[in-house]
Amino acid sequence: MRLKKVKDADNIVNASKYVIKNPYEYKGQYNTLFNNNNPISIEIGMGKGDFIIGMAMKYPNVNFIGIEMFSSVLVRAVQKLEELKLDNLYLINMDASDIDDVFDREIDTIYLNFSDPWPKNRHAKRRLTSKLFLEKYDLIFKDEKKIFQKTDNIDLFAYSIESLSNYGYVLKNVTMDLYKNEPEDNVRTEYEKRFIEKNTKICRLEAYKR
Ligand SMILES: C[S@@+](CC[C@H](N)C(=O)[O-])C[C@H]1O[C@@H](n2cnc3c(N)ncnc32)[C@H](O)[C@@H]1O
């Protein structure tokens, strides 16, 4: 992702009440942050936030947490949120490698949208559907494990299908052309909107594990 320099991104992110400053403190008790027991869904690598903000607006009875490692990107979502004032969405500025130190058996669904593909074999562990990450996700899911992925990258999609299946996930609603029949409830991400303009095909899957 090309990063535009955003003046004072760190300061804006750190000053926002929508950004959780010490996410480790809430481990196992994120329901207290939201003040309710609604399910909690997360998006890892949320970028500028179009998807997670859209989801939070569409589903007020679900709690959402967006995770993004670069403050220079996250700041765009913060700026949008300050105007919208949603009470079912918080953001965390961190690398998802630490995800199992931040959540404990309290997550309902994980969304992975247009994740970095890490094409080189030696970087395969960094893919967000690698066994290393799936093991971490096991520790944060509450009940049934649900991972929903969208990507334009065929190689990452094929890798994810194999990795998720090998790990015991059952795949449903797998498509290599989401826009052949776009579901009514599809919420478009920032990257997705760009790909649609270029007529790039979008792959999507749902993965479930008990
Ligand atoms: C290609 S962008 C997609 C952004 C957004 N999901 C979308 O679809 O528009 C991938 C984003 O994931 C973030 N990212 C990649 N690896 C991450 C990680 N391990 N932890 C947190 N964020 C990560 C990147 O910084 C980048 O903003």
Determine the Cα–Cα distance for residues 67 and 65; give it in Å rounded to an integer.
Answer: 7
Alpha carbon nearest to ligand 1 atom 12, residue = 45
Q: Measure the CA–CA gap between 87 and 84, rounded to whole angstroms.
A: 9
Residue reference for tokens 């207290």: 32
pLDDT at 4 over 90: no
Here the tokens at position 159 are 């890798």
**Contact of 93 with 32, CB cutoff 8 Å:** no
Helix, strand, coil percentages (3-state) for the chain, rounded to 5, are: 40, 20, 40
191 lines ligand 1 (CB under 6 A): yes
- Rounded to two decimals, the pTM is 0.96
The pLDDT score that the predictor gives to residue 3 is 45
Place of tokens 């480790």: 24
Cβ–ligand 1 contact at 195 (below 6 Å): no
Query: Does any ligand 1 atom lie closer than 6 A to the CB of residue 67?
Result: yes
Q: What digits encode the pLDDT tens for the residues 40-53?
A: 999 999 999 999 99
Confidence label for 85 from pLDDT (cuts 50, 70 and 90)? confident
State how far the Cα of 62 lies from the Cα of 81, in Å rounded to an integer.
17
Residue 67 CA to ligand 1 centre (angstroms)? 8
Architecture of domain 9-21+28-209: 3-Layer(aba) Sandwich (3.40)
Distance (Å) of CA 105 to CA 29, 49, 75, 173, 189? 10, 24, 28, 26, 27
pLDDT, the chain, mean: 96
Nearest to 29 by CA among 89, 101, 90, 104: 104
The string of pLDDT tens digits covering residues 142-179 is: 999 999 999 999 999 999 999 999 999 999 999 999 99
Distance from the alpha carbon of residue 145 to the mean position of ligand 1, in angstroms: 21
